[in-house]
Structure 1
Amino acid sequence: MSLSNHYCALLKHCHEAKKVHCHIIKAFLNPETFLLNNLISAYAKFGSITYARRVFDQMPQPNLYSWNTLLSCYSKLARLSEMERVFDAMPTRDVVSWNSLISGYAGCGFLVQSVKAYNLMLNDGSFNLNRIALSTMLILASNQGSVRLGRQIHGHVVKFGFHSYVFVGSPLVDMYSKTGFILYARQAFDEVPEKNVVMFNTLIAGLMRCGRIEDSRKLFYDMQGKDSISWTAMIAGFTQNGLDREAIDLFRDMRLENMEMDQYTFGSVLTACGGIVALREGKQAHAYIIRTDYQDNIYVGSALVDMYCKCKSIKSAETVFRKMTRKNVVSWTAMLVGYGQNGYSEEAVKIFCDMQKYGIGPDDFTLGSVISSCANLASLEEGAQFHGRALVSGLISFVTVSNALVTLYGKCGSIENSHRLFGEMSFVDEVSWTALVSGYAQFGNANETIRLFESMLAHGFKPDKVTFIGVLSACSRAGLVEKGNQIFESMFKEHKIIPIHDHFTCMIDLFSRAGRLEEARNFINKMPFSPDAIGWASLLSSCRFYKNMEIGKWAAESLLKLEPHNTASYILLSSIYAAKGKWEEVAKLRKGMRDKGLRKEPGCSWIKYKKQVHVFSADDRSNPYSDQIYSELEKLNYKMVQEGYKPDMDSVLHDVEDSEKIKMLNHHSEKLAIAFGLIFIPPGLPIRIVKNLRVCGDCHNATKYISKITQREILVRDTARFHLFKDGTCSCGDFW
């Protein structure tokens, strides 16, 4: 081997080009051009473009290869201005020169410049088009989603006879697949006689993206020499198309074939496990991941957290999350969303704050999720702070964040702010409209709810199942039976939406609240399935209000069969018996509850003051300000009686003297919370109360009197809706 060849071999394998360069300077007075070209390539390979350029500038006679090598360096390093200057200065050019220029632009995603360079190459005419340029342009068209450019290049592929080449066929299939032209992709695939595994994988992924499950399945099972990418493409495709069970089964088969798996394989199967709440299979996948190198992979860790959260195994999700050595915004968001979806809204807010301490900035999905948790907590103060953060960070421009804020203000009873924010949004979608419609529905403003719903339709937006739940619930709370019935029928007749349990429950509630109990019974008997617990409880509650023993007993027995340990049937049926004075029947029901170990969920109300939540239960004296609270209640009771207030004895389910009943009513949890608010919340600000049960008739009546006497706005959110008490009236119109 000659000395020059010896140094060329060293440059290919040595990581220290400078040392070899020093030896070359000592060994040669005038190194050969091909040796210097190898030196330029070595410097370029390790990113030392300055030294590569210096060697080039000192060459006495650089040849075309020298120019192309330097040109290729500037492409690879995205130094486009230097690349252009080198290309313009070249004394001669060949196909490699043009390919380097086109690839340089394409690598940076510069569509216009790439097309311009490609067209200049075509117009040069000194040589024919080559497969590298065609492949580069097809990849660019695919990445940019430009089917127009892709079809032009496809024409050149056919014209110059490259349509049967696998090197061109693969990017052609990929381009058509990613742009949704799956038939053209299949045609391009079929035109290549000798296909490689990459072409199969590309077409499988494309077919899955377009929902062509059967075609993809057949191609996969007919394919010879499947690799791990083939299996992963199928698993991911099944997951993307909602075929989660098939994805899990295929993952099991992939393990039996001892195929190598990567983060995308694990991420897809974990998503499938979460999709169908397959906790057992999810744990099996987790056990397999532990035996691989992907246990500490941030992508896989995030997918594990998400899977456990969706399977309602929140403790396992926390364990995985804590053990993750590296976390990004996706990891934190997965845990945050998991808390919110499983009813741990306070923990969701807390983990958002922890995320900030670690310097992880939220994206729009993270911020939208934590705002949703504030909405579930009815925490207007914290939600408003996140609103400010959204404004400062610019994330308010994302529809996910704005929609969450519209929902927040609606759920916190600040419907004016909800509507104002909706009006300020530069872009709204179906979720935006549904959030506003649902906000007005929960607030009890049926007319505005229906007006917004009709406006939504007029603007060309399609309502979904959630939208109809909001509109139907608004109709039920306002007693608009005919209108609600009309909207219910339009749901499946005009909008082709199949009603689910929630819609039928709204209709049961619609008939029941209006006192049309016989119609409610007939409606239930015609339903395609039996009502859920909420439906039966709604009917039973109305039977209590209208004192209908017959239908009430039927509803209670049905509810007990469905949920034997649900105390609602016992409590509501007890109310019906108590209203009729049948105390022996009440005693039997209570004994039945005791025998089964059932206890009525205690009613409680809470109010937030200076970032602290004060919780009250009936006859509660645990609050440090109890003496002031009870003193305030005594004053209020005296003034209320003077205004004409009379306690509702039917709200007491005990056979005791009237004086004892009055005492029980006076110390209900929401009254204690209201008294606290009157003492500590400054005048001019509304008093906001949240209750875990439905407001009883006596408290509802009493709060109207309190609002009139004190001239304060009192907002109570119970399990059914918002009640805004003002000047002796309630926004629900006494219909709740």
Structure 2
Amino acid sequence: MSLSHASSNHYCTLLKLCCETRNFTNAKNLHSHIIKTFPNPETFLLNNLIASYAKLNSITYARRVFDQIPHPNLYSWNTILSAYSKSGCVPEMECMFNKMPTRDGVSWNSLISGYAGCGSVYHSVKAYSLMLNEGSFNLNRITFSTLLILASKRGCVKFGRQIHGHVVKFGFMSYVFVGSPLVDMYSKMGLIVCARKVFDELPEKNLVMYNTLITGLMRCGRVEDSKRLFFDMRKRDSISWTSMITGFTQNGLDKEAVNLFRDMTLEKLEMDQYTFGSVLTACGGVAASREGKQVHAYVIRTYYKDNIFVASALVDMYCKCKNIKSAETVFKKMTCKNVVSWTAMLVGYGQNGYSEEAVKTFSDMQRYGIEPDDFTFGSVISSCANLASLEEGAQFHARALISGLISFITVSNALVTLYGKCGSIEDSHRLFSEMSFRDEVTWTALVSGYAQFGKANETIRLFESMLAHGLKPDKVTFIGVLSACSRGGLVEKGNKIFESMIKKHGIVPIQDHYTCMIDLFSRSGRLEEAKIFINNMPFSPDAIGWATLLSSCRFYGNMDIGKWAAEFLMELDPHNTASYVLLSSVYAAKGKWDEVARLRKGMRDMGLRKEPGCSWIKYKNQVHVFSADDKSNPFSDQIYSELKKLNYKMIKEGYVPDMNSVLHDVEDTEKIKMLNHHSEKLAIAFGLLFIPPGLPIRVVKNLRVCGDCHNATKYISKVTQREILVRDAARFHLFKDGMCSCGDFW
């Protein structure tokens, strides 16, 4: 249509369209036409222009239009006042309010809303008091709703109760718009009894109120009450169902959440990102891969298949279900990724044993310009800890200091764990001492660090100090303390701590605790006591528990208990090679080579192969991996030459190869050759060649170090005057001046 013939009403309609389409340019063009068309435009039209500019977040243009009105009416004042209020321009809002010739409830509400938006309880209360002084006729439902939301956000119980009193006094309890914020306020403050009382007394209830109370009952853990309310509802919408699913997930009831989602699909209700996000979290929580895939298929048929929130939840779900390939597929297909998406993939890699990929993902994330948060940082540091990569971990420590993320306890805790797992227990303790706040995770991280080092007495002292500080140890804490007792041979002390865990701290032992106790008895040679303990357990040990006992039977040469343990282990897990290997080592130590051959034939017949031992060492950001008799390394000639020189020096110092560490019936010369080329010796020789003098040589091994390698490394540390740190499958060994930190007890 030709704008030259447009009326004021036409312009108002077009301005409304500009606001709906968020088109600021068209609004300015219309403003230009209004100026050209109307020499003296009506106040009604100018008020609409002010409101349009305010909605388009252009407070400057809105004020210019207001200043051009010769005689602004109350609506004009309220419109510009509301604009200042919504944009958070508090000084301008106050100035405009004070200039108003007359005020009504809308004016006061704009002032109160402006203060509330800035979180200022004091000024909101002051404005509300002045409003009451002018007369309660100004009050309306928006006033109370605004103040109740403010009280809820700021956690002001006393203020909230006062507003509740005024709601009752001035007769606003019948308004649903006021009742719902009241229920929400009490719920968020944890006053669920008050919330329920308000809900029950309301004469009229709508879906919003029901949903608000359901959510409130779930933050407070009142699951059964929430379920009763949900099933009592005559009508339920998508929000009702989503609130319940989310509540179940938040309260650890993942199976119930998945089942409820299944029921929701039968209702054919529309679902949103929160519905899918919650049920996917629940699927991940119980590793329900099949159900998770079904939800994924459901998502693909909706508008949410490209939603960043849902896609991130899918990545997280697949990672928790140990389906890392599907997680990668979803992640790679995401057109847009944020810090949550990247962190989900990074954490997934770390939790599934792909620590190197986790560190690489962090680097990729940085290249895309995504800034990590404390959770991302903590996760990548944990991956460095799993890799025993001290250098990279130390670099992340430096970056955490520069970025300020070190102030987050998640990051500090990860660093305490990192240094502990990398054998730098002094650095771990120093960082622990520098922390201004420590929680149970912090203490447990240090306890576990000392335990891995076999420092039993220090671990126990730290544990007792933790208790003295009023912190509550958890299951992981006790695993650390009990393992320290087993590595230190403190049987009686470990027994007392195990009993106190049950009787004093009310913790029901899990398989790991029982495994620690089996290790405690068997490592100290008290194999009969270990057998009695196992027979008194409420359930049978797992494969690790039986293997632990069997390993000690090999060390102490106890064939009877060794055969007993091996039979149970073979029955529990026929394809576990540990039972065959450990039992054959018991027979080999006794010279029963026929039995060794029988076991090996049994393994061949079942298609089983012993897990190959390997060791690795990091040099110049590259990991060098070695296996026994390995000649794949480009520096193999130098490594074997170095080992030959070392062997000569060690023998001069009194080193004698331990033939019992060889499980093959071959000549002694062949046994010595096999011992000389074990994986950790190759890695140590590499370290001696390339790690600069003065720096410790750090080697990681996937299995427990054998007796001969342990003895040989003591001699190597003596003849080379180098510190050698070996982290095997059980603990740390720090070799220095011909001694090991474990005291030869491992």
Fold-level match, TM-score > 0.5?
yes
Aligned to 1:224: 234
Aligned to 1:430: 440
Q: Deviations over 1:656-701 (max 9, x none)?
A: 1212211111111111111111121111111111111111001111
Alignment of 1:515-664 (within 5 A): 515-664=525-674
Aligned to 1:251: 261
Distance in 2, Cα, partners of 1:368 & 1:642: 48
Q: Deviations over 1:235-272 (max 9, x none)?
A: 10111111111111111121111101100000000001
Aligned to 1:106: 116
Q: 1:665 to 1:22 in 2, by over 3 A?
A: closer
Distance in 2, Cα, partners of 1:282 & 1:173: 34
Aligned to 2:684: 674
Distance in 1, Cα, partners of 2:589 & 2:715: 24
> 1:104 offset after TM fit, Å?
1.5
Q: Deviations over 1:210-233 (max 9, x none)?
A: 111111111111112311111110
Aligned to 1:53: 63
Structure 2 unaligned residues grouped into runs of 5+ = 20-25
Q: 1:507 to 1:58 in 2, by over 3 A?
A: same
Aligned to 2:506, what secondary structure does the other structure show? coil
Distance in 1, Cα, partners of 2:710 & 2:608: 27
Q: Deviations over 1:566-619 (max 9, x none)?
A: 111111111111111111111101110111111111111111112222222112
Aligned to 1:295, what secondary structure does the other structure show? helix
Aligned to 1:326: 336
> Which sits farther off after the overlay, 515-524 or 37-46?
37-46
Aligned to 1:140: 150
TM-score by length of 1: 0.98
The AA in structure 2 aligned to 1:649 is M
Q: Deviations over 1:485-543 (max 9, x none)?
A: 00000001000000000000000000000000000000000000000111100100101
Distance in 1, Cα, partners of 2:40 & 2:698: 89
Give the conservation status (yes or no) of the 8 Å contact 2:131–2:138: no
Give the conservation status (yes or no) of the 8 Å contact 2:104–2:138: no
Give the conservation status (yes or no) of the 8 Å contact 1:674–1:689: yes
The AA in structure 1 aligned to 2:533 is F
Aligned to 1:117: 127
> 1:165 offset after TM fit, Å?
1.9
Which of 295, 305, 309 aligns to 2:315? It is 305
Which of 375, 378, 384 aligns to 2:388? It is 378
Give the conservation status (yes or no) of the 8 Å contact 1:707–1:713: yes
The AA in structure 2 aligned to 1:87 is F
Q: 1:115 to 1:627 in 2, by over 3 A?
A: same
State yes or no: 1:267 paired with 2:277: yes
Distance in 2, Cα, partners of 1:533 & 1:27: 89
Aligned to 2:22: none
Give the conservation status (yes or no) of the 8 Å contact 1:173–1:186: yes
Aligned to 1:689: 699
State yes or no: 1:498 paired with 2:515: no
Aligned to 1:446: 456
> 1:9 offset after TM fit, Å?
4.8
State yes or no: 1:463 paired with 2:469: no
State yes or no: 1:403 paired with 2:403: no
Aligned to 2:74: 64
Give the conservation status (yes or no) of the 8 Å contact 1:163–1:188: no
Aligned to 2:703, what secondary structure does the other structure show? coil
Q: Deviations over 1:142-185 (max 9, x none)?
A: 22222222112111112212223211100000001111111100
Aligned to 2:23: none
Aligned to 2:54: 44
Distance in 1, Cα, partners of 2:355 & 2:437: 28
Distance in 2, Cα, partners of 1:3 & 1:695: 91
> 1:21 offset after TM fit, Å?
4.1
Which of 389, 394, 416 aligns to 2:404? It is 394
> 1:94 offset after TM fit, Å?
1.3
Aligned to 2:288: 278
Distance in 1, Cα, partners of 2:240 & 2:14: 39
Aligned to 2:624, what secondary structure does the other structure show? strand
Q: 1:122 to 1:594 in 2, by over 3 A?
A: same
Distance in 1, Cα, partners of 2:27 & 2:660: 94
The AA in structure 1 aligned to 2:540 is S
What is the RMSD computed on CA atoms of the aligned residues?
A: 1.6
Q: How many residues align?
A: 736
Aligned to 1:712, what secondary structure does the other structure show? coil
Q: Deviations over 1:397-418 (max 9, x none)?
A: 1000000000000000010100
Q: Deviations over 1:10-41 (max 9, x none)?
A: 54445544454455445544444333323322
Give the conservation status (yes or no) of the 8 Å contact 1:75–1:100: yes
Distance in 2, Cα, partners of 1:6 & 1:608: 75
Q: 1:678 to 1:23 in 2, by over 3 A?
A: closer
Distance in 1, Cα, partners of 2:404 & 2:37: 62
Q: 1:357 to 1:8 in 2, by over 3 A?
A: closer
> 1:50 offset after TM fit, Å?
2.8
Q: 1:17 to 1:628 in 2, by over 3 A?
A: closer
Which of 227, 241, 245 aligns to 1:235? It is 245
Aligned to 1:180, what secondary structure does the other structure show? coil
Distance in 2, Cα, partners of 1:611 & 1:20: 64
Give the conservation status (yes or no) of the 8 Å contact 1:346–1:377: yes
Q: 1:4 to 1:356 in 2, by over 3 A?
A: closer
TM-score by length of 2: 0.96
Structure 1 unaligned residues grouped into runs of 5+ = none
Aligned to 1:130: 140
Distance in 1, Cα, partners of 2:421 & 2:57: 57
State yes or no: 1:186 paired with 2:196: yes
The AA in structure 2 aligned to 1:615 is V
State yes or no: 1:97 paired with 2:107: yes
Give the conservation status (yes or no) of the 8 Å contact 1:164–1:191: no
Distance in 2, Cα, partners of 1:683 & 1:30: 90
Aligned to 1:150: 160
Which of 80, 86, 93 aligns to 1:83? It is 93
> 1:63 offset after TM fit, Å?
1.8
Distance in 2, Cα, partners of 1:3 & 1:338: 62
Amino-acid identity (%): 82
Distance in 1, Cα, partners of 2:105 & 2:729: 73
Aligned to 2:623, what secondary structure does the other structure show? strand
State yes or no: 1:715 paired with 2:725: yes
Q: Deviations over 1:413-439 (max 9, x none)?
A: 010100001011111100000000000
